[in-house]
Amino acid sequence: MKKTLLVLFVAFVSAYGSGCATIATGKYQDIVVTSDPSGAEVTSSTGRRTITPGTLTLRRSEPCVLVARLEGHPELQRHLTRTTEGWVWGNILLGGVVGVVVDVASGSHKKIKENEVFFDFEKAQRAAEPQHTPYRPRPKEEPVQQEPTQRIEPRILGTPEPGAHSSQQRPRLVVKGIVYSERNPSALVGKDIVHEGDTISGAQVVKIRSDSVEFSFNGTTWRQSVSR
């Protein structure tokens, strides 16, 4: 009886320890692949393909890189991380060297750390676009329209009184008031309103200033202030 129990115990330990991780997990692992936007083609370095959202069945023992492609977006890659399967430690405790050897041989001693892989194409697109400050044209300044200077045609005013002066005598002119502006100054001389360039009583109005009027007669010029 004791021999029978011993044989059964040895058989149980051998069967359980011959590949604990292999029995619990298997050689392959399913990885869920999604993306934003969806519809991306994802290819593994081992040759397997899927369209997001989809699932890739990958061998646990092989290093793997996933490449995602979507029209109009930059290509994305993800290196999958492998780690040691927890069942291996059970083999070491229960199955000894034999169980570990079986797990390593089958590739079940490793597992892929990422059960789900997400590719964010929208975020990658924004990062790839150059950041430019939007150009805002400066508003055009409207040109200041200047009023056209009114041209005053020279006039001949004031008929000299007989005997008032000869051709060599300067006429007697009385400036009674001045309306001054830079564009069109005027003055009241006697009873006439004159502008620069006018002729009154034979004398030409050369310049009208704010406080006086300059006249010219027979080559002689003089300035005359407003009479009080």
CATH code 2.30.30.830 region(s) in the chain = 156-160+170-225
Residue 119 · residue 35 · CB < 8 Å: yes
pLDDT at 119: 93
pLDDT at 225: 92
pLDDT at 124: 87
Measured torsion, CA atoms of residues 104, 109, 114, 115, in degrees rounded to the nearest 10: 110
Give the three-class secondary structure for 17: helix
What are the φ and ψ backbone dihedral angles of 108, each rounded to 5 degrees? -80, -5
What tens digit of pLDDT does each residue of 106-137 get?
555 568 888 899 999 888 888 877 666 666 77
Q: Considering the chain, what percentage of its residues have pLDDT values greater than 70? A: 65
Report how far residue 107's alpha carbon sits from residue 27's, in angstroms, rounded to the nearest whole number.
6
pLDDT at 16: 45
Measured torsion, CA atoms of residues 213, 216, 217, 219, in degrees rounded to the nearest 10: 150
Residue 118 · residue 34 · CB < 8 Å: yes
pLDDT at 167: 58
pLDDT at 18: 45
Fold of 156-160+170-225: SH3 type barrels. (2.30.30)
Report how far residue 188's alpha carbon sits from residue 176's, in angstroms, rounded to the nearest whole number.
5
Question: Number of helices and strands (H, E) in the chain?
Answer: 5, 17
Residues of the chain with pLDDT under 50: 5-23, 97-98, 100-101, 103, 105, 161-165
